[in-house]
Structure 1
Amino acid sequence: METRVVGGIDGEAPQAVRTGDLIFVGGLMAVDDGGNIVGDDVATQAHSIFDRLRAVLAEAGASLADVVKHNVYFTCENNQAAAARFLDELDAVRTNYFAAPGPTTTEIRCGLDRQGALLMVDASAVVGGQRSLDRDGNVLGVGDIEIQTDEAFRNLDSMLRAGGGDRNSLMRQNTYFRFFGEGREVTDYWEKMTNVRRRYMSVPSAAGAGLRIEGMGDIEELIQVEGIGMLGQDKQRLQPENHWDWSIPNTQFTQGWKIGRLGFIGGQISADNKARAVGDDMETQTRNVFNFVRSTLAEGGLDESHVAKLYIYYHAEGGWAEIEATRAVIAKVQREFYPEPGPAVTAVRVAGFAFEELLIEIEAMAVTPD
């Protein structure tokens, strides 16, 4: 099975990795050949990104018609009118690139790591984001994380059944949630939400990540959930010993799964066996996380050479110089584990994680040779 990479800009990670019939596209922003942001409005940047996505796919031997899932990470003012206006302007462009019904999508309001960037898009073949909405698109359970969590996971369950599977088919499941508390409140909120999620999780569960973000397309939404489901029973749970663990004991959460040629490594964090952060700086935590990714891969007979896509979620505060310095630290450690050209990467600046004091969380998607 041939693996091909579509090159990045100025030594950055590949824009896409193709392995067999699978193509993983990293996060794309509206940049020129020098890496400078193009345009200062949504429409201009969206046109630039989708043109670039089309070109990247063409170089990988595919087209926009082959995209079954794309994520949109965007930034705008924290009010409903601004978010709605942003998505309307995005949709006015996006509908010209994808024929109906188009790919599924997850849209997350978060921080980006280039000054002037308004949105970032990546693409892969996955199940789309599920939300707590009624049939008319109105948010259910306004202000109540338990009601919204229940509705979002109920919708995910329905989508899995519609595809011929069930919750046991779910290999990767990510939860994006909005919460701005601090200290122990962070873990308390995650546990409150997770006690609802567990009603819908298989035992053992899918691998995944829990990410605190700035918001979604609707200001009243507190949670979205997305997942990748795979049909078939021949799967291996990847659960290394002496690994970090969650704050709720005996949850049957899972670090990763291998099914067929695919490996799904859930969000890895720098923590001990009680979900307490280990390391108080980005370099220490990043190195710990990549070592945990390595250990989880090894459970399935995999290593970094099999990784086609990394999702790097990180927290950075301050101005653009501080954000750039943080990304440089992450990139430096990444190169220790993934020499060039490395996998495709989507890097997202988030508001935080499921547990306090964490600075970074990383997922990996691996593909084995035939």
Structure 2
Amino acid sequence: MSDLASGIPLPSPVQPFRYRRLGQQVFVGGVLPVDAVGTLIGADDIEAQTHAVFRNLQAALAAAGLQMADLVRLNTYYVYEGEEAQATVFWEKMTRVRLLYFPDPGPAATAVRVQGTGVRGALIQLEAEALAVPALQRQRIMPEKSWDWSIPVPLSQGWRAGSQVWVGGQVSADRAGKAINLGDLPGQTRNVLEHIRHVLLDAGAQFSDLTQLKVCYLHDGDDEAAEARLQEILGVVRTTCGEPLPPVTAFGVNLLYEGLLLEIDATAQVEVRHPQATAEGGNRNWTAGVQVQRAGSIIQVAGQSVAAQGFEQACSEVLQRLVALLRAVGAGPGALAHLHVLVAADDAPERAMALFTRALHMCCGEDLPPFTLVRVNGLPGGAPLQVDAIAVEARPA
């Protein structure tokens, strides 16, 4: 396959997963329901595709010398385009298959409904983080004051290992998994942040220890309303968590429970200095605050977007910006552990995947870091592309 504009061959086929092990940490990205030659498995069948992605995740972990019980974080991106009244039924069908693979206790998890992936017809995609650390050195976080899922699952609200804390996706729901504060965006945001606060407290952390926030906000097709919704959410986050905000990624989606307006997950580092860097006037100005934050060897880069004309140019410019931010805290592209690639452009899925992969090759060489590409309803400022990253750099900052 080649790009008609440049005639340069585009990479193919799509891989079933990519992983990178950096010390005790393993990052797995782009886990798709495809076989070794990139052929889709189980067309139009969410159960068959869910089996396929979890088998691919097991294979990735095994290649890194780990297993499912070593997971501390799991993000699931799924595609549902049917009647809204059946969205929860679809999620539960998918989750009943996931239950066959989840360890008990399971990882901190986030499941987000998206428009698509980089593979046409793929209904589900995973990305995960695991630790080669004995179970006794990890702390499961299940606050007494928390929401619950609509069906019993062994997932966790959070985990702590060493100084690191992972907070699963938090929503404005009650102990029965029912959405609360319907129609009240500030109220839902405060509920979500209160859930995050309790996970942090049980892990011995607080808001000032946050190193990353990922904000999923309702985008139902109205760009202007979605943008206003995001800014109102960020206003409540600033008031509640204090400024400057840690690195933030934000993207518009359809949410699972009817009436939900947002979902947030997070990471934190306890008792570790946080060198920070901001990029004045950059990142399309959709959020003020820290663009890259280093806590020991762990580096979080906020979602980066640019005002480029065309998707190919956006891929190149956003990666250049991301690398510049890594260098600002003493690292480089070789430290990249995983990237989230959020696409709101109209490019065909295969072309978006191929163009980003080629840009990443130009940035990182042949040894590509794992990345997870999903198509979302919208991005802040109407950007066609947003990329965030986590990196691990052993050398002192």
Query: Per the alignment, do residues 323 and 99 of structure 1 end up closer, same or farther by CA in structure 2, a change over 3 Å counting?
Result: closer
The match for 1:221 is 260
Report if the CA contact (8 A) 1:73-1:108 is conserved: yes
The match for 1:118 is 123
Q: 1:307 aligns with which of 336, 340, 353?
A: 336
Report if the CA contact (8 A) 2:58-2:68 is conserved: yes
Structure 2 length-normalised TM: 0.82
Q: 2:81, 2:343 → 1: CA distance?
A: 21
2:309 match: secondary structure: coil
The match for 2:303 is 267
**Deviating more after overlay: 138-147 vs 334-343:** 138-147
The match for 2:36 is 33
The match for 1:19 is 22
Report if the CA contact (8 A) 1:13-1:341 is conserved: no
Q: 1:79, 1:199 → 2: CA distance?
A: 37
Query: Structure 2: which amino acid aligns with 1:363?
Result: D
Q: 1:355 aligns with which of 377, 381, 394?
A: 381
2:265 match: secondary structure: strand
Report if the CA contact (8 A) 1:315-1:359 is conserved: yes
| 2:111 aligned with 1:86 | no
Q: Deviations over 1:275-305 (max 9, x none)?
A: xxx2231122222211210121011111101
- Distance apart, 1:184 and its partner CA: 4.5
| 2:206 aligned with 1:206 | no
- Distance apart, 1:105 and its partner CA: 1.1
| 2:367 aligned with 1:364 | no
Q: 2:271, 2:233 → 1: CA distance?
A: 29
Report if the CA contact (8 A) 1:67-1:103 is conserved: yes
- Distance apart, 1:260 and its partner CA: 1.0
Task: List aligned pairs for 1:222-261, cutoff 5 A.
Answer: 222-240=261-279, 243-244=282-283, 246-247=285-286, 251=288, 253-261=289-297
Q: 2:96, 2:239 → 1: CA distance?
A: 38
- Distance apart, 1:363 and its partner CA: 0.7
1:317 match: secondary structure: coil
Q: 1:27, 1:327 → 2: CA distance?
A: 11
| 2:195 aligned with 1:155 | yes
Query: Structure 1: which amino acid aligns with 2:295?
Result: I
- Consecutive unaligned residues of structure 2, counting only runs of 5 or more, are 1-10, 131-165
Query: Per the alignment, do residues 89 and 181 of structure 1 end up closer, same or farther by CA in structure 2, a change over 3 Å counting?
Result: closer
Query: Structure 2: which amino acid aligns with 1:232?
Result: E
1:23 match: secondary structure: strand
Report if the CA contact (8 A) 2:118-2:349 is conserved: yes
- Consecutive unaligned residues of structure 1, counting only runs of 5 or more, are 1-7, 271-277
| 2:100 aligned with 1:100 | no
Q: Deviations over 1:254-282 (max 9, x none)?
A: 10111111111111111xxxxxxx22311
- Distance apart, 1:247 and its partner CA: 5.0
- Distance apart, 1:129 and its partner CA: 0.5
Query: Structure 2: which amino acid aligns with 1:67?
Result: L
- Distance apart, 1:349 and its partner CA: 0.7
Q: 1:340, 1:11 → 2: CA distance?
A: 15
Task: List aligned pairs for 1:309-328, cutoff 5 A.
Answer: 309-317=338-346, 322-328=348-354
Report if the CA contact (8 A) 1:314-1:348 is conserved: yes
2:208 match: secondary structure: helix
Report if the CA contact (8 A) 2:186-2:236 is conserved: yes
**Deviating more after overlay: 227-236 vs 259-268:** 227-236
Query: Structure 2: which amino acid aligns with 1:366?
Result: A
Q: 2:374, 2:29 → 1: CA distance?
A: 11
Q: 2:353, 2:218 → 1: CA distance?
A: 23
Query: Per the alignment, do residues 263 and 269 of structure 1 end up closer, same or farther by CA in structure 2, a change over 3 Å counting?
Result: same
1:355 match: secondary structure: helix
Q: 1:341 aligns with which of 367, 377, 384?
A: 367
- Distance apart, 1:132 and its partner CA: 0.6
Q: 2:344, 2:223 → 1: CA distance?
A: 15
- Distance apart, 1:330 and its partner CA: 2.2
- Distance apart, 1:12 and its partner CA: 5.1
The match for 1:4 is none
The match for 1:275 is none
Q: 2:225, 2:88 → 1: CA distance?
A: 30
**Deviating more after overlay: 180-189 vs 143-152:** 180-189
Q: Deviations over 1:317-362 (max 9, x none)?
A: 37xxx23223322222222212112100111111111212x11110
Q: 1:80, 1:10 → 2: CA distance?
A: 34
Number of residue equivalences: 348
- Distance apart, 1:78 and its partner CA: 4.8
Report if the CA contact (8 A) 1:13-1:342 is conserved: no
Report if the CA contact (8 A) 2:17-2:31 is conserved: no
Q: 1:173 aligns with which of 185, 209, 213?
A: 213
Q: 1:82, 1:27 → 2: CA distance?
A: 27
Q: 1:178, 1:78 → 2: CA distance?
A: 17
The match for 2:161 is none
Query: Per the alignment, do residues 80 and 183 of structure 1 end up closer, same or farther by CA in structure 2, a change over 3 Å counting?
Result: closer
Query: Structure 2: which amino acid aligns with 1:196?
Result: V
Q: Deviations over 1:141-192 (max 9, x none)?
A: 2233222222111211111111110001110111001123545444333222
- Distance apart, 1:91 and its partner CA: 2.2
Q: 2:108, 2:372 → 1: CA distance?
A: 18
